[in-house]
Structure 1
Amino acid sequence: MLNNEAQVLRRTHTSTSTLKGKITDFFQLIWNYRASYLFIAPFVICFFIFILAPVLASIVLSFTYFNGLEAPRFVGWNNFRDMLSQDLILTKYALPNTIWFALIIGPGGYICSFMLAWFISILPGIYRKWFTLALYTPSLAGLVAMSIIWTPLLSSDRIGYLNSFLLNAGLIAEPVLWVTSKEHLMNSMIFVTLWKSMGIGFLAMLAGILNVNPELYEAGRLDGIRSRLEEIWYITIPSTKPQMLFGAVMAIVGAIQSSGIGGALSGMNPTPQYAGHMIVSQIDDYAFKRFEMGYATALSVILLLIVYLANKFANKLFGTKEGE
């Protein structure tokens, strides 16, 4: 009996010593690379203050009633239950509009970015930079600048550039309400957003395509590749997976960030008959007009979850597997 107790004590002491040794080695390793941690400290601090802390605070506030003046009051799952049972604007307009808008702008903008990047990559160098500049510049325009550019073009009266052209060409009999009618607002939003979707993701894919080793194309021709389409599918896309993953993530983020274009084009908030109302618009409505911060943060958490799942799907498609 005493021998068994002695063995148990010996094993416990050995385990404790091993754990202490591992902890000591861990802190020693940190100390040995202290200069590296010093260099990454600014990023870690900014990441915690501006990203991690707000996300954690939003998750906590999503379970409360908070109006910005009084202390938050815990309400459990009520905010999430109200989304499905009481918020008819969300379920009837904001959520379907967001899904439809993201499905068109995300994949549509992504495909356009890749195709245009590929077309530019085969141009002579003297023309390449000018076409790149022309396509990238619209992405720098904010909502205010975009409204200044597109409002005269899509104006709903006869002096609007588009209506004037179509009337003079005899293609329409009366002016079309491009940005003030339920039937045409979403299409106008999609067109304008695609126009400005050639952003950082487009530049990343262009850089990736230009950096593909030309010897791969020569080897592909020797192996039987005969067309440009086969080159793109078997060589270009596999060789630019990191850039394509980055472009996919930026396309997803861009589709969500562009939700305010409806209000900028129509000059109305909410948009006519909620035709351009998105989840982001619903968050702004509850947060800054109704001051229901708890419900607004619950909507933000749902939107964060949607973006996270979309990014996981993009990583599944274009992420580099271990060992590649």
Structure 2
Amino acid sequence: MNQQIVERPVIRRGEVKDGRAPRRSLWLKLTRTFIEARKNKHAYVLLAPYFLIFGTFTIIPVLLSLLLSFTNFNMLEKPDWIGWQNYARLFVQDDIFLIAIKNTFLFAAITGPVSYMACFLFAWLINELRPKLRAFLTLILYAPSIAGNTYLIWQLLFASDSYGYANSFLMKWGFIMEPIQWLQDPRYVLGILILVQLWLSLGTAFLAFIAGLQNVDRTLYEAGSIDGIRNRWQELWFITLPAMRPQLMFGAVIQISMAFSVAEISIYMIGFPSVDYAAHTIVTHLVDYGTIRFEMGYASAIATVLFAIMLGANLLTQKLLHKVGE
């Protein structure tokens, strides 16, 4: 009589059986995590103050803002849960917000990539100079981003009368016959703001790139020349940029945040609100409803949309930076 041999599937450690993960595997993972935490307890103790402050002043406010975006809250009365009404109002009824989104994306699409590449290009060029000259030029290029009252210079340059430097120059050489209302004409307002932002963009990302270039291991260039790298552009793409991925990512986050959160330049130079909302951005819309009208639920919805846009831009940039050097 032939015996039928039935082979039973072999279930290895960590595999799923009947749709459930083995309890023993989960317990082992928890045990190993606990053991590792006990070994590194001193590091966690030192990191605890930072995480406490970060959680209190960053994570918790973000979560509260997300919850308030589903309420009607004016800071005087108890929040009233209204669901998705704030978001429906934002994208369907609020025409000014749609203008703000258009202006913000146009502003970010120009200033973000241009300022990012300018920061790296200047850092790369300055890095080749002697230390004293490099330090002097770094200070000169970084100074506009930390100097106060820089908007006064641009207001004098684009003053609306004949004494403004731009109007005076154009009238002297016969390009125009009468002064141009630079800061009151919707055709020029956004372009001027983009120009000012580019002038102020050599800030933290610029310093991060210089630090990253200084820390690249010089032996990598020697190894690259042996492997067939023959010019500076190949060195840049296959050695310098991959070695600077942390600094590149940090600079991208900084530049994206600056590009999407522009508001101060518009308020101080153009006024609030701007003419025909030509310089109105998402952040100025947030300032309007959050600090003037005190519609905190609606302002929280605006902040949540801005946070989602910035998060998506950062994730996309991170994926692009991972391809550097490939």
* Alignment TM-score, normalising by the size of structure 1: 0.86
Gaps of at least 5 residues in structure 2 are 1-21
Which residue is 1:65 aligned to?
72
User: Residues of 1 paired with 2:29 and 2:241: CA distance?
Assistant: 44
Is the contact made by 1:245 and 1:319 (CA closer than 8 Å) also made in structure 2?
Answer: no
Among 114, 120, 123, which residue is 1:117 paired with? 123
Change (3 A) 1:108 1:263: same
Which residue is 1:103 aligned to?
109
Which residue is 1:126 aligned to?
132
Gaps of at least 5 residues in structure 1 are 1-14
Is the contact made by 1:97 and 1:277 (CA closer than 8 Å) also made in structure 2?
Answer: yes
Which residue is 2:87 aligned to?
80
Give me the CA root mean square deviation: 2.5
User: Residues of 2 paired with 1:128 and 1:295: CA distance?
Assistant: 48
Among 36, 41, 46, which residue is 2:43 paired with? 36
Q: Deviations over 1:146-165 (max 9, x none)?
A: 22232112211111122222
Amino acid at match of 2:81: F
Which residue is 1:312 aligned to?
315
Change (3 A) 1:222 1:35: closer
Change (3 A) 1:38 1:320: farther
2:117 counterpart SS class: helix
Q: Which moved more, 1:305-314 or 1:224-233?
A: 224-233
Which residue is 2:242 aligned to?
238
Which residue is 1:139 aligned to?
145
1:212 counterpart SS class: coil
Amino acid at match of 2:195: F
Which residue is 1:250 aligned to?
254
Is the contact made by 2:262 and 2:283 (CA closer than 8 Å) also made in structure 1?
Answer: no
User: Residues of 2 paired with 1:73 and 1:288: CA distance?
Assistant: 19
Structure number with higher helix proportion: 1
Among 279, 282, 291, which residue is 1:276 paired with? 279
Is the contact made by 1:98 and 1:279 (CA closer than 8 Å) also made in structure 2?
Answer: yes
1:258 counterpart SS class: coil
User: Residues of 2 paired with 1:17 and 1:193: CA distance?
Assistant: 57
Change (3 A) 1:123 1:28: closer
User: Residues of 1 paired with 2:42 and 2:223: CA distance?
Assistant: 45
Amino acid at match of 1:86: Q
CA offset at residue 169 of structure 1? 3.0
Give percent identity, aligned residues only. Answer: 42
Structure 1 segment 150-299 matched on structure 2, within 5 A: 150-266=154-270, 268-299=271-302
Amino acid at match of 1:318: L
Is the contact made by 2:108 and 2:260 (CA closer than 8 Å) also made in structure 1?
Answer: yes
1:179 counterpart SS class: coil
CA offset at residue 224 of structure 1? 4.3
2:262 counterpart SS class: helix
1:118 counterpart SS class: helix
- What is the aligned length? 304
